[in-house]
Amino acid sequence: MYDVLVIGGGLAGMTAAAAAAKTGARVGLAGTGPGSFALGSGCIDFDGLLPEGEGTPAVKCLQEAVDFFTTMTAGAGCDYRGELTGKRMLPTIVGTYQPASYAPSSVWVPDPALPGTVAVVGVRGLTGFNAEFIAERLSFQADTLGFLTRYHARMIELPRGGRQSITAYDAAVCMEMEESRRELAAALQPAAEAADLVILPGILGIKVTAGDLGAFGDAVGCPVCEMATMPPSVPGLRVYHHLLEYLQKTGVELNLGHPVRHCLLDRTYCTAVSLATPGRDRLLPAKAVVIATGQVVQEGEPGAAGIDLPFDLRKDGIKVNRQLQPLNKEGAVIADNVYVAGSILGGNNPKNGNAAAITTGCQAGISAAKVVGYNAKK
């Protein structure tokens, strides 16, 4: 019997599970995949979510969620940089800037508005990355925005690279080995000499920690950042990998790979969740449930995870009260011990989807633990 069972293995679900586990509750997580945050760079943008006025309770609440998240990611070995009210322009593979409040340290570049020389380094044979294209477009963008950073392109051979084209994921698998990273650092020396920053496609390993990446930068002799490629995008996958490991370490039980078929309701109380495991369904009893199944409902799962909801999620999202409990058409709570987090809430802007995921995930996790008697620890 779980105290809290989280449905959904994306950013909202993982944050909720970690937040609930931190209270001392016994937590389980059921999910079918990493969600869309793992496809990108893992950036978090609070644009549009920030309430007016610093120091207001609402901002404090956001700040608490962010502090929880950054502490969690640092503990997981994939630390984030940034600040709630700030904004950093991060370069992308289409030569645009993506604004972010927080980002994994490997993609958190120095402020491009300030003077600097950046070498965008391409890797021969790597599919879907062209340093010249990116540098040319970024230079134009920087000019337009009045930024002082200058970009130029370099090309290197991947140590041990073959003649076949490879993906960023292939390269990352190779870069898990410290020796490969050492060789890559050596290959980057010439590009690093004339630059204040080297930007690489995201290839520096999925299991590597922030510490490993720091050591890599030291070996290159110049700060090194990554740029998320087209999916599979290594920076996002890296965060996903580390957070899963972290959840296991903190005692969260993972039930991955099987969709949820039903939430068993006893009037307004959810008693268990059934997983569509091969052969026969598996019942997971739980005292409280967090639903974080994402924006798009799986086929064969009308309503969120089997709770019959009186509206079309694709259009409306789920309506919730301030405690994130789902409401029916009449505005009454559907289940007293169920909480909802992440993009399933609807009305969301994809630009700040990750920010909404960690804020609501954190709150739903804490609320779910609280309803079964565990209180958040500072």
Partner 1 sequence: MERTQVVVIGGGATGTGILRDLALRGVPAVLFEQKDLAFGTSGRFHGLLHSGGRYAVKDGDAARECIEENTILKKVASCCIEDTGGMFVQLDRDDPDYVESWLRACKQVGIPAAELSRREALEMEPNLSPSLKRAFKVPDACIDGFLLTLANAQSAVEMGAAVKTYTRVTKIAVDSDKVQGVHYRDEISGDEGFLGCELVINAGGPWAGEVASSAGTNIRVNCDRGALIIFNHRLTSHVVNHCRVPGDADILVPAGPVSILGTTSVAVDDPWDLRVGAGEVEYIVSLGAEMVPSVTEARIMRAFAGIRPLYSAEPNGDTGGREISRGFALIDQQELDGTEGLISVVGGKLTTYRLMAQVTTNLACRKLGVAKLCTTDRVPLKVLPQDSALAEAKKVLSHPVAMSTYRRLGPGLAAVVEKVKNDPAQAEIICECELITRAELETYLSGTARVPARTLNDLSRRTRLGMGPCQGTFCGYRAMLVGYETGKWTADEAGEQLVSFVKNRWKGQKFVPYGKQTQQLGISRDLYGASLNLIEPGNGVEK
Q: Is 289 helix (H, G, I), strand (E, B) or coil?
A: strand
Query: Does position 43 bind partner 1 by CB under 8 A?
Result: yes
Query: Does position 347 bind partner 1 by CB under 8 A?
Result: no
CB of 375 to partner 1, least distance (A): 35
* CB-nearer residue toward partner 1: 99 or 211: 99
* CB-nearer residue toward partner 1: 353 or 365: 353
* CB-nearer residue toward partner 1: 217 or 346: 346
Of the candidate residues 23, 73, 98, 293, the single one contacting partner 1 (CB under 8 A): 98
CB of 36 to partner 1, least distance (A): 5
Query: Does position 64 bind partner 1 by CB under 8 A?
Result: no
CB of 92 to partner 1, least distance (A): 5
Query: Does position 169 bind partner 1 by CB under 8 A?
Result: no
Q: How far is it, in rounded angstroms, from Cα 3 to Cα 256?
A: 18
Of the candidate residues 50, 133, 281, 301, the single one contacting partner 1 (CB under 8 A): 133
Query: Does position 39 bind partner 1 by CB under 8 A?
Result: yes
Q: How far is it, in rounded angstroms, from Cα 57 to Cα 48?
A: 17
* CB-nearer residue toward partner 1: 343 or 363: 343
Of the candidate residues 9, 28, 31, 95, the single one contacting partner 1 (CB under 8 A): 95
Contacts of 79-83 spanning 24+ positions with Cβ under 8 A: 79/104, 79/105, 79/210, 80/44, 80/104, 80/105, 80/108, 81/105, 81/108, 82/44, 82/108
Q: How far is it, in rounded angstroms, from Cα 246 to Cα 286?
A: 22
Total site size for partner 1, rule CB under 8 A: 37
* E runs forming strands in 249-358: 253-256, 260-266, 269-275, 282-291, 338-340
Query: Does position 172 bind partner 1 by CB under 8 A?
Result: no
In degrees to the nearest 10, what's the CA dihedral of 317, 319, 321, 326? Answer: -90
Of the candidate residues 171, 228, 309, 335, the single one contacting partner 1 (CB under 8 A): 228
Q: How far is it, in rounded angstroms, from Cα 315 to Cα 326?
A: 16
Query: Does position 296 bind partner 1 by CB under 8 A?
Result: yes
- Strands 88-91 and 97-100, by their bridges, are antiparallel
Q: How far is it, in rounded angstroms, from Cα 27 to Cα 250?
A: 9
Q: Which helix (H) or strand (E) holds 6?
A: strand 2-7
Q: How far is it, in rounded angstroms, from Cα 269 to Cα 163?
A: 60
CB of 361 to partner 1, least distance (A): 17
Of the candidate residues 193, 350, 373, 375, the single one contacting partner 1 (CB under 8 A): 350
CB atoms within 10 A of CB 173: 17
* CB-nearer residue toward partner 1: 295 or 360: 295
Query: Does position 307 bind partner 1 by CB under 8 A?
Result: no
In degrees to the nearest 10, what's the CA dihedral of 158, 39, 96, 358? Answer: -130
Mind giving me the DSSP string for 97-151?
EEEESEEEGGG-PPPTTS-EEEEEEEETTBTT--HHHHHHHHHHHHHHHT--EEE
Query: Does position 99 bind partner 1 by CB under 8 A?
Result: yes
Binding segment (CB under 8 A) for partner 1, from list 54-62, 124-132, 266-274, 322-330: 124-132
Of the candidate residues 71, 127, 271, 323, the single one contacting partner 1 (CB under 8 A): 127
Sequence-ordered list of residues with C-beta below 8 angstroms from that of 23, at least 6 positions apart, any chain? 366, 369, 370, 374, 375, 376, 377
* CB-nearer residue toward partner 1: 151 or 216: 151
* CB-nearer residue toward partner 1: 221 or 310: 310
Q: Return residues touching partner 1 (CB under 8 A).
A: 36, 39-41, 43, 45, 92-99, 125, 127-128, 130, 132-133, 136-137, 140, 163-165, 228, 230-231, 295-296, 299, 314, 349-351, 353
